[in-house]
A = this chain, B = another copy of it.
Amino acid sequence: MTPQLAELVAVDAGGTSTRAVVVRPPGRCLAYAVAGSGNPIAVGPETAAAAVVESVSGALHQADVPGTRIRLVVLAMAGASSTSVAPEIRRRLAGIGLDATLVFESDLLATYFSGTWRPDGYAVIAGTGAGAIRVEDGRQVAVADALGWLLGDEGSGFWIGRRVVRAVLADLDGRGRSTALTPLLLARLGVPAPSHAGDREPIRAVVRASYAAAPVRLADVAGLAFEVDGDGVADRILDDAAAALARTLTAVRSATVSGPVVLGGGIMGLGPQVAGRLAASCGTDEVLAAADGAVGVSVLAVRHVGTSVDAAVFDQLTSSLAAAR
């Protein structure tokens, strides 16, 4: 390490927000800045790249560290490999005087390392999408599901939200059981309740609203399943989601890797209905909650420059990042 190249930049580019931190190895977070969505699939490569660079610029400014001192930029981003976002980000980083090496990492691996410093273990993520990974020696060596809303993501926000809407439609047209989800969803969408038996206008309105947005936006109503208590239909949906995520975890299990299981993604934070059931089925006491993905990318950045991350470094990263927020 030359004296001039000292700090690292770690960026977690997510669908909702992009967070950048400046890290001084081994484990001190100097600054933390936030920008908009950095998911190139959701907002396009240009907007995603702009969000990344905005967050990096903000963090550098806050840390009062010039871009020329940055040794490495590590960026966790879903879908980076399938878009042309990398050259766009390099170009824009150069524009703010940052020419350091840029490394892309899996957003799933960043989630894992936001919950633990241990180099071997598992993560199950259920946000808008869903998947599981196995981590060995700090690398993601197996992945299951994470196939997107059309083909997979079982137990994800999209998957739950779609089941919610289908259950409501089945309730409304008499194919399915009555559920407390129905008034909740109609209220959320601003659709009047049926005015008489056989009134199909609410069905048509729910269908219209659902097809009017991008399919993945069905994830927005997943939370309704967590809001109704003791509803058999909602319970079944969340039970099935937990079971699906457990199957996904099973697919990456290895008899020789017995580390912790990190649970991450927005669905895990909505209540114990999915995370608790999943944790109970993990077959280990070491079930950890993921934290800010920026912690995980910071761990990856520090590991990239050869620093081994132990419990003490992890704790320092976590607490200094929390203080910088």
Contacts and interface: CB of A to CB of B under 8 A. Distances in A.
Interface of A: 82, 143-145, 147-148, 150-152, 162, 165-166, 169, 173-175, 200, 203, 207-208, 210-211, 215, 218, 247-248, 250-251
A205 to B, nearest CB: 12
A144 B173 contact: yes
27 contacts: A82-B208, A144-B173, A144-B174, A144-B175, A145-B175, A147-B169, A147-B203, A147-B207, A148-B207, A150-B162, A150-B210, A150-B211, A150-B215, A150-B218, A151-B165, A151-B166, A151-B169, A151-B207, A151-B210, A152-B166, A152-B169, A173-B251, A174-B251, A175-B247, A175-B250, A175-B251, A215-B215
Contacts of A210: 150-151
A34 to B, nearest CB: 29
Q: Interface SS of chain A: helix, strand, loop or mixed?
A: helix
A145 B151 CA distance: 21
A166 B248 CA distance: 13
Given A174-B251, A175-B248, A251-B175, A211 B169 contact: no
Given A173-B251, A174-B251, A211 B162 contact: no
Contacts of A248: 175
A162 B150 CA distance: 8
Contacts of A166: 151-152
A218 B174 CA distance: 28
